[in-house]
Structure formats: C-alpha cells, structure tokens
Amino acid sequence: MLTSREFLKTSNFLFRSHTSRPRVARCCSVKVAATPVHTGAGPIPSSTGRPCRLGNVKRKTKETEVEVTINLDGTGVCVAETPVGFLNHMLDQIASHGLFDLTVKANGDTWIDDHHTVEDIALALGTALSQALGDRKGIHRFGEFSAPLDEALTHVVLDLSGRPHLSCNLTIPAQRIGSFDTELVEHFFMSFANTSGTTLHIRQLAGKNSHHIVEATFKAFARALRRACEYDERRAGQIASSKGVLTQQ
C-alpha cells in the first residue's frame, strides 16, 4: 500500500512537504502541472513539436540565494517561493500570461529590505531566459503589448536584441504596496534587461491605483515577452537580424 506521498510521487505530482509560508507549515501542498515531469530521458516535447527551451540558474551570494528554472514552451505553471509576497504575485503574472513554466525559489536578507532579493531574482530570471533562448534562432525577437487593469494601462515594447536597455516612465503614487517598495519595480526590469540582453520600453498610459499600475505592467511585459520568444514560422530557423547575431558577444 502506497502512502499518499509515494502515490503523488509515482503519479508525477510535485510533492512539497515543507513550506516557509506562515500558518501552513504542517500542510501538504499539491500543484497540478500540465507539463509532464522531466525524467531526464531526452528533451521534453512541447506543443510546438520542438524540444522545450529550458533555462536553469542558481545564484548564491552573501546577500541572497536564488534558483530560477524557466520553460519558454510551457503552459503557465508558476511555483514562486520567495519571501517577497508581492513579487510572487508578479512572477505568477509573468508565467501565466507569458505561458512560461516558471519556478523561482529564493531566500535573502529581507531583514534589511527586499532590495537584494528582488534584484537578484530579476538577474537570475534574465540569465535563465537568455540560456533558454540559446542563439535566438527563429524567434520573433520583437514583442509588444498593452495591458489594462481597470483604470491602469501600460504599454510594453521589447526587443531580444542582446542589447540591454531600459526606458521606464512608471509613476506609481504609493511608495509601498503592502510591504513592497514600489521603487523596486523599475529596478527589477533594469536587472532583467541587463542579464537577458533585452531592450525594454515601459510606458504607463493611464492609472491611479499603484497595485493596478504594477500588475498591468507585468501582464503587458509577460505578453510582449511571450510573443518575442515564440517562433516565427516564416523565419524558418534563421536569426532575425541583418547582422546575423542576437547574443551578447
């Protein structure tokens, strides 16, 4: 007779017996994923018929310890276990609207503030994305999307050019959303742009509520990134550059 834990494991469920979340320390958390668990026997096929593009980055400093795993050809499954609750919510936006499978596990010196943890997660996410994209052959490269959330509206335009740049005009009225310092939103995108080699423009077109403004931005970012990462069938595996290179040299 299998225990429930053994049953879940043999059924390809991800079993997490330990959680750092308050008040549920003794509970069992079950996530149901549409992507089969990789057993190591060859590449995971994706809905595109090509192997899934995967990135995995571990980053450890005296300030933080971060692990990011991304599958660009996923179904939007997110496991975000970081001490920054609002960021977990935003990582969930990236996964679900980008149709990426994203796992982010992090610990950091949040007794100081969330700065190092948010920054290092963004750096690791950018590195993992770049790793998953490889030589960037056959992708659309450019992506843009405008996402509303009630009164808020943000336009995001990005280019997976290999050239890091951020222009961001967000005007977030509140200094904090819950305990999250809103100054870190721009810093997150700057850090991501730097390690992923992305040219990223973020334009807030409308918005009054700080939570709405930030969430609309992450949704637009996710959709724009999804488009840029997806294969352009007419491109037939070629690099979308007259220069022939999209990676940082």
Query: Which positions lie near Mn ion, rule CB under 5 A?
Result: 119
Instruction: Quickly list H helices, 29-177.
Output: 85-98, 115-133
Between 71 and 191, name the residue whose CB sits nearer to Mn ion: 191
Q: How far is the CB of 116 from Mn ion (least distance, A)?
A: 7
Task: Considering the complex, state which of residue 64 and residue 71 has its C-beta at the smaller distance from Mn ion.
Answer: 64
CA distance 224 to 204: 15
C-beta neighbour count of 139 within 10 angstroms? 24
Closest CB to Mn ion among residues 157, 166 = 166
Using CA atoms, how far apart are residues 148 and 238, in angstroms rounded to an integer? 34
Which one, of 185, 187, 188, 163, lies nearest residue 175 by Cα?
Answer: 185
Q: CB nearer to Mn ion: give 101 or 119.
A: 119
How is residue 21 annotated by DSSP? S
Choice between 92 and 119, CB closer to Mn ion: 119
**CA angle at residue 226 from 224 to 228, to 5 degrees?**
70
**Closest CB 127 distance from Mn ion, rounded Å:** 16
CB 99 within 8 A of CB 46: no
Q: How far is the CB of 119 from Mn ion (least distance, A)?
A: 5
Cα-to-chain-centroid distance, residue 163: 19
- Are β-strands 64-71 and 78-81 bridged in parallel, bridged antiparallel, or unpaired? unpaired
Give the nearest distance from C-beta 154 to Mn ion in angstroms: 23
Contact 224, 145 (CB under 8 A): yes
Closest separation in Å from C-beta 194 to Mn ion: 11
Length of the chain measured in residues: 249
- Strand-pair category, 165-168 with 199-206: parallel
φ, ψ of residue 208 in degrees (nearest 5): -125, -40
For residue 26, the minimal CB distance to Mn ion (Å) is 37
Compare residues 76 and 164 and give the one whose CB is closer to Mn ion.
164
Of the pair 47, 179, the CB lying nearest Mn ion is at 179
Task: Tell me how far, at minimum, the Cβ of 184 lies from Mn ion, in Å.
Answer: 9
